[in-house]
Chain A
Amino acid sequence: MTRQLTDRPRAAVEPKPAPTPRARWSARTRRDFFVFLALALPNLLLIGVFTYLPLFNNIYYSTLDWTLGSASATVVGFDNYVTFFTSSDATKVLGTTAVFTLITVGGSMVLGLLVALALNSKIRGTTFARSAVFAPYVLSGVGVGLVWLFIFDPGYGVLAWLLRGIGQQSPQWINDPQLSLVMVIIVYVWKNLGYCAVVYLAGLQSLPQDVMEAASLDGANGFRRFVSMALPLLSPTTFFLLITTMLSSLQAFDLIRIMTPLGNGTSTLIYEAYLQAFGAFNRAGYSAAISVVLFAILLIITVLQLRFVERKVHYS
């Protein structure tokens, strides 16, 4: 088509000769080769140096007994892993990570689905409400953490005031290790449920309307239609959210750092790795070992995703 639109000589688009090894390196191919490198190489190098290289360095560092900032290190093999898994740290940190991840994932997905159902209606104002519930997701974790820390403040926080109103003392959110975990979980869910809501809403809006209408003509009520039709049809969305929210919960840092700087009861794997290297101890090797454990967990989840997504939890 386009050839007819131009009056340039046709030679420019003459079909290429058969790709013999020599012909593949024609002047034009060679030019394209360098054009590609000129365009893509800076980005690819940066990704290589700051994304791929650290993975290998981490594994190497994890075999060292090394104080951050010190010039010398001794190779200790798997000692750091042994130390981690045999200490009481492991059960505590892995337990905290599991509790934090499961509750934040479950909480933001269930609440997100409920909000999505509320948003999926014909009434006016849903566009505004959708943006509103999504907003916390894009805000700085540090800022959000401070705002909620003030709300949870046992002395002068809004929550303490509300509790006094019904004759209760405010719990010690910050000093009690278990409560501080609860507090961080609540704020994390608040910040992330909008993401689940918007993704679920997109899923709800792509449900086949004819099927849903047929069910409603057959007399299935709203709840029935939701449980036995919408929910199974949404399973790809649910699976996608399960994986993505799990990956981000496992990497949650900002809120934990700002709300519980000492990791008092909130030391998840990522936070423990941070504290060990950049807290008081400067144990670089040990921290790297914890990072590798975290990476292994994240890798398993990602691989699971890739395996299952291909054969889809799908009905259409």
Chain B
Amino acid sequence: MSLLSPVSPDPAANAGPAADAFDADPGIPPQRHRPFSRANLVQTLAGGYLPLIVATLVVFLPLLWMVLSSFKQPGEIITMDLKILPESLNFENYNIAMTTVPFAQFFLNSLIVTGVGATIKVLLAILTAYALVFVRFPYKNVIFVLILVALMVPPQVSILPNYILIAGMGGKNTLWGIILPGLGTAFGTFLLRQHFMTLPGSILESAEIDGAGHWRRLWRIVVPVSVPSIATVALVVVVSEWNDYIWPLIITDRPETMTLPVGLTLLQNSEGNGSGWGILMAGAVLVIVPILLVFAALQRYIVAGLTQGSVTG
């Protein structure tokens, strides 16, 4: 569905400074008030800032609450009067979360699954997109249509057959079993193909004449000029691998190979009573904050990539 998006198909264009230029505003009529009149000030605050502040708070307060609660002792949580700030900044809950379940192992597994999975996916996307755009092949259109259709196949309905396939291959409770079924990437291929199509053919022609083969042209010319698009694909893939839940949940049932979201479910089972909330919030911090930091640093690319279409993997 990405190609039907009303948003610009080129992530680089969206990721550029233009995406942040909020200069177009049909909502405000031509200036009638003096800029600092009281009526104008009230209007600006009520009409402009108030909704923005409310929207931002609605997003941030639950996350802030998560962080604050992760430092609270059971006594501060199991109480009828709400204590907003924790009494002290102690990491006891994190300690308990780490020892109740092998959290360090989960974290490591998540890092490996995300790192290896995302690297291979991005590589495959680059290679396939390059082949589709720059290498002559008789059935390219058919292949591209098959990729488009794959983009629309909902991954959730493939869970059971993939489970049977991977379990049959001995991939249950292995990291490769978690990684393998997600490696083929229709989303990344599609997005990069659309970008490669916009590259001027002349630079590649001249390289070809200079005797550069496909491999050289790909890594010396196409990839270096496509860094923003590749970054967009990479970030979307990293985010979705890190958050992926249903597949690792099904294919692992031993702590040694669980990823963070699955491990969090395990923690929930063992800390399900009221006193465990602080520990669970510590666990939630560990799964949410890394992505929040990545998002804060690189949100332009992530927003551009994710609004290309609803497909995130």
Contacts and interface: CB of A to CB of B under 8 A. Distances in A.
Interface of A: 1-3, 5-6, 8, 12-13, 29, 32-33, 35-36, 39-40, 42-55, 57-58, 61, 114-115, 117-123, 125-144, 146-148, 150-151, 153, 155-156, 158, 161, 164, 190, 194-195, 198-199, 202-207, 209, 212-213, 216, 221-222, 225-226, 230, 236-237, 240, 243-245, 247-248, 250-251, 253-254, 257-258, 270, 273-274, 277-278, 284, 287-288, 291-292, 294-295, 298, 302, 305-306, 309
A309 B4 contact: yes
Interface string B175-198: 000001111111001000000000
A43 B128 contact: yes
B55 A40 contact: no
A190 B264 CA distance: 21
B12 interface: no
Contacts of A151: 62, 65
B211 A8 contact: yes
Interface string B30-72: 1000000000000010001101100110111011011001000
B99 interface: no
Interface string B70-82: 0000000111111
Please classify the interface of chain A as helix (H, G, I), strand (E, B), loop, or mixed, using the class held by over half of its residues: helix
B261 A140 contact: yes
Please classify the interface of chain B as helix (H, G, I), strand (E, B), loop, or mixed, using the class held by over half of its residues: helix
B27 to A, nearest CB: 6
A22 to B, nearest CB: 15
Interface of B: 1, 4-8, 14, 20, 22-30, 44, 48-49, 51-52, 55-56, 58-60, 62-63, 65-66, 69, 77-82, 124-125, 127-128, 130-132, 135-138, 143, 146-147, 150, 152-165, 180-186, 189, 202, 205-206, 208-211, 214, 239, 242-243, 245-246, 249-250, 260-261, 264-265, 268, 274, 277, 280-281, 283-284, 287-288, 291-292, 295-296, 299, 302-303, 306-307, 309-310
A278 B157 contact: no
A216 B306 contact: no
Contacts of B128: 39-40, 43-44
